[in-house]
Amino acid sequence: MTRLLVLAFCALLAAGCNGSEEAAPPTNSPPTANQRAPDTRASLPRNYRELMARLPPFDEPTSPEVAAWRKATISAFFARCFSDGGGADKASSVAANRRILKQAGVFPKAVFVEEHSIGQRDGNGCPEETGPATYYTTYRTYRLPAGTKPGKVLRLYERRLYGWLETAPTACERTYGQGPGYLVVSACNGVLRLSMRARGPVGLPSPATAPSRPFGAQYPIVANDSATPAPTAYRSEPGETCERVAGADVPSIIIPPPPGVSAELRGQYVVVHWALGRVHGDCPPSELVLSSPMKAYTMHEPVHAGSGVTRMRLVAGATPPEQVTARVVSVDGTQSRAVAVLVRRS
């Protein structure tokens, strides 16, 4: 459920997410102490009420059981991703980094400049730049003696770090890995930069107990929601009610009805007109997903109204598509059945 909520939030907010399970090694261009990544929290809803206010108006109210489950689940998500608690402990993480940096040592006569540590949030299951830190990277900078060649510095650290796995070598930089840790040694432009990341256990708050997920027995069940039908017309009509598919942990899961779409080729764009039909509170859409065979082109459009127009720019050098496929994603992270239409040439 957490992954579905993350995807739904990313769709609704048109923001990226930290979904990868394993981070890449530190880079050779560490941020300085006074440089910070853009804070995306300002554009995110701060609570359940703000999130729901971004959805299209409902034509049918939310059933009490769905409302209770959704509010409890999404509120728990906000508590995890928009609080400063949980995650990797900074003090112990930085201490572990410093132990490795001490073992690596310093190039003779190099002059210390500064050290700082920055928490990284990738892999925490929350929208980008939110949620608890999963690890900390510690950066140390030294000024090398005048005339020191990068190769001399790198050979010294190759001997000191014997037994570590060396990856991604360049003319003035090496990355070493051992277990969950990465150490980057950079000797470019007369400056020695050491950056250490040791991933350790992450303490996360225990999830609150949420009501059982409603399975929407009143809605029609769909046998195969993942199949994409072959297009036979230039227009599809929107569905009028929520549907449901078989679930793994519950008998069935409520999904939104498919959208109504039409597509027309105009210059360098495929112009898609879409409509949602009746918006049900049990399966309100938050995102429209459009795709075409045009080099596997996929577009994600946040949904804030019951209808709209979206322009898909043609990929340079690609043959204009003959069809467009569309789905909607609900605020709960479930996808509708796909619909496909032919693209009309103007």
Q: Please give the pLDDT value at position 256.
A: 96
Instruction: Please indicate, yes or no, whether residues 181 and 260 belong to a single structural domain of this protein.
Output: no
Instruction: Please indicate, yes or no, whether residues 51 and 165 belong to a single structural domain of this protein.
Output: yes
Could you tell me which residues come within 8 angstroms of residue 308 by beta carbon, excluding any fewer than 6 positions away? Answer: 273, 274, 288, 301
Euclidean distance between CA atoms 97 and 95, whole angstroms: 5
Chosen domain end from 165, 198, 231:
198
Q: Work out how many domains the chain is built from and give that number.
A: 2
Chosen domain end from 169, 198, 227:
198
Instruction: Please indicate, yes or no, whether residues 256 and 193 belong to a single structural domain of this protein.
Output: no
Distance (Å) of CA 318 to CA 17, 82, 272, 314, 323: 29, 42, 18, 7, 14
Chosen domain end from 198, 229, 255:
198
Q: Please give the pLDDT value at position 12.
A: 47
Q: How confident is the model at residue 155 (pLDDT cuts 50, 70, 90)?
A: very high
Could you tell me which residues come within 8 angstroms of residue 304 by beta carbon, excluding any fewer than 6 positions away? Answer: 54, 55, 56
Instruction: Please indicate, yes or no, whether residues 15 and 145 belong to a single structural domain of this protein.
Output: yes
* Better-predicted residue by pLDDT, 32 or 331: 331
Q: Is residue 334 part of a domain?
A: yes
Instruction: Please indicate, yes or no, whether residues 51 and 176 belong to a single structural domain of this protein.
Output: yes
- CATH number, domain with residue 248: 2.60.40.10
Q: Is residue 224 part of a domain?
A: no
Longest pairwise C-alpha distance within the chain? 77
DSSP letter assigned to residue 276: -
Distance (Å) of CA 249 to CA 1, 209, 257: 11, 15, 22
Q: Is residue 206 part of a domain?
A: no
Q: Render pLDDT for 157-206 as a digit per residue (tens, 0 to 9).
A: 999 999 999 987 899 999 999 887 899 999 999 999 999 987 655 454 55
Q: Is residue 234 part of a domain?
A: no
Q: Render pLDDT for 108-146 as a digit per residue (tens, 0 to 9).
A: 999 999 999 999 888 777 877 788 888 899 999 999 999
Instruction: Please indicate, yes or no, whether residues 179 and 51 belong to a single structural domain of this protein.
Output: yes
Q: Is residue 254 part of a domain?
A: yes
CB count in 10 Å sphere of residue 129? 17
Q: What residues does 291 pair with on adjacent strands?
A: 298, 325
Task: Give me the domain span that covers residue 168.
Answer: 2-31+42-198
- Of the candidates 76, 77, 52, 73, the one whose C-alpha atom is nearest the C-alpha of residue 281 is 52
Q: Is residue 127 part of a domain?
A: yes
Q: What is the mean pLDDT of the chain?
A: 84
Q: Render pLDDT for 291-339 as a digit per residue (tens, 0 to 9).
A: 988 666 889 999 999 999 999 998 887 888 999 999 999 999 999 999 9
Instruction: Please indicate, yes or no, whether residues 6 and 137 belong to a single structural domain of this protein.
Output: yes
